[in-house]
Amino acid sequence: MNARTLIYLLSGAGCMAACGNGARPATATDSTVQAVKLTDTMNRMVLIPGGAFEMGTDEMPAQPDEQPVHKVQVDSFMMDEHEVTNGEFAAFVAATGYVTIAEKPISKEEILKELPPGSPDPDSSLLQAGSLVFSPPDHEVPLDDVSQWWAFKAGASWQHPEGPESSINGKEHYPAVHISWEDAQAYAQWAGKRLPTEAEWEYAARGGLARQNYPWGNEALTTGQPKANTWNGHFPYQNTKTDGFYGTAPVKTYAPNRYGLYDMSGNVWEWCADWYDANYYQHTPAGAHNPQGPDKGFDPADPAAPKRVIRGGSFMCTDEYCSGYRVTARMKTTPTSGLANLGFRCVKDVK
């Protein structure tokens, strides 16, 4: 299910209408694009040497879709050393005039096709351009109700991450967010790159370490120096900012893994090329060479909506709620969804 439709269902029309403020949606010609410093923001790519590895895990807190462990072979490839930044994405938009999905009004048909037959038409106020922003409560809430900390905000986009009153000025080295899979694909094509397969992503995140939970090994996230930008404290109402940040952090803030890759754990989720199938690992042949993922998506919790894989966790992840920063953890969302904690990085084949 599209993320915007999900919040529509969970929150109800009254909440959705209250989230909007009638502000003009951002466009590719907003002055924000012109104000972002476009120099010295481009990613350096690092070589990920090909090899075989054991993908997935059977160790707790493994989820069923991370099992069984299976051997995979990947060829060498180049990978962005960090997530695509606001500065890089601004350069793309300035060069092409591209408009992201979050900057386009949602169609009535997009919502209705995911609702039961005979559902009433959504109010026009709910069809404004916008995206989902993190809107945490100041008290403990049930962790099975995402509407307690997600809210649709009209005018939210990569240029206005918290809504139309916010901007990315001075944040050219922060990861671009509110980027859908389709937006990421468009950027990658423009840059002469592509999105990583799920196998490539996990192989790169491991940094050559076998049977380890994190890009740095098995040391607990809370032991020693901060290793990643994650949630510190009690989610979603208390964040001690032990790692130095409440929301996203500039890329390259924390130490890289052994391949020289930054933020393969935490900060923002990253799109992969693959469709998500909860049962895919059960059908992947042993020793698969450069697996491309399933032919179509299947999420048993939402079978009507095919999804793409996202990896790496985000600043909102915590062992208390979401341990998505483990190298084997899998997550998914629809290709048209954008979120305040969702970005991407690219790869390129070695010729």
Please write the tens of the pLDDT for every residue from 207-239: 999 999 999 999 998 889 999 999 999 999 999
Quick: pLDDT tens for 86-116: 999 999 999 999 999 999 988 777 777 766 6
345 phi/psi in degrees, rounded to 5 = -140, 165
Q: Is the dihedral of CA 180, 183, 189, 192 positive or negative?
A: negative
- CA 137 to centroid of chain Cα atoms: 22
Counts of helices then strands in the chain (DSSP H, E): 8, 12
* Residues in CB range of 299: below 8 A, 6 or more apart: 276, 278, 305, 306, 307, 332
* Whole-number Å distance between alpha carbons of 297 and 13: 29
Residue with tokens 């809504």: 163
Residue with tokens 């037959």: 117
**In the chain, what is the straight-line distance between the N-terminal and C-terminal CA atoms, in Å?**
38
Per the CB < 8 A criterion, the answer to whether 257 and 205 are in contact is: yes
Residue among 287, 253, 290 at smallest CA distance from 274? 290
Q: What pLDDT is attached to residue 3?
A: 55
Return the C-alpha torsion angle 172, 133, 228, 167, nearest 10: 20
Per the CB < 8 A criterion, the answer to whether 55 and 326 are in contact is: no
Name the strand (E) or helix (H) holding 74: strand 70-74
* Whole-number Å distance between alpha carbons of 28 and 30: 6
Average pLDDT, the chain: 87
Q: What is the pLDDT along the chain (351 residues), one digit of tens a residue?
A: 455 555 444 433 322 222 222 222 333 344 444 444 444 456 899 999 999 999 999 988 889 999 999 999 999 999 999 999 999 999 999 999 999 999 998 877 777 776 667 777 777 766 889 999 999 999 999 998 888 999 989 999 999 999 999 999 999 999 999 999 999 999 999 999 999 999 999 999 999 999 999 999 999 988 899 999 999 999 999 999 999 999 999 999 999 999 999 999 999 999 999 999 999 999 988 899 999 999 999 999 989 889 999 999 999 999 888 889 999 999 999 999 999 999 999 999 997
pTM of the model: 0.88
Quick: pLDDT tens for 48-63: 999 999 999 998 888 9
Continuous H helices in 62-136:
86-96, 108-112
* Residues in CB range of 14: below 8 A, 6 or more apart: none
Quick: pLDDT tens for 128-147: 899 999 999 999 999 988 88
Q: Is the dihedral of CA 206, 199, 81, 265 positive or negative?
A: negative
Residue among 154, 95, 89 at smallest CA distance from 344? 89
- Which tokens belong to 41? 């923001």
- CA 237 to centroid of chain Cα atoms: 21
239 CB-contact burial (10 Å; exposed 0-12 / middle 13-18 / buried 19+): buried
Amino acid at 113: K
* Whole-number Å distance between alpha carbons of 291 and 71: 11
Per the CB < 8 A criterion, the answer to whether 304 and 345 are in contact is: no
Question: Beta strands 288-289 and 70-74: pairing type?
Answer: parallel
Per the CB < 8 A criterion, the answer to whether 235 and 318 are in contact is: yes
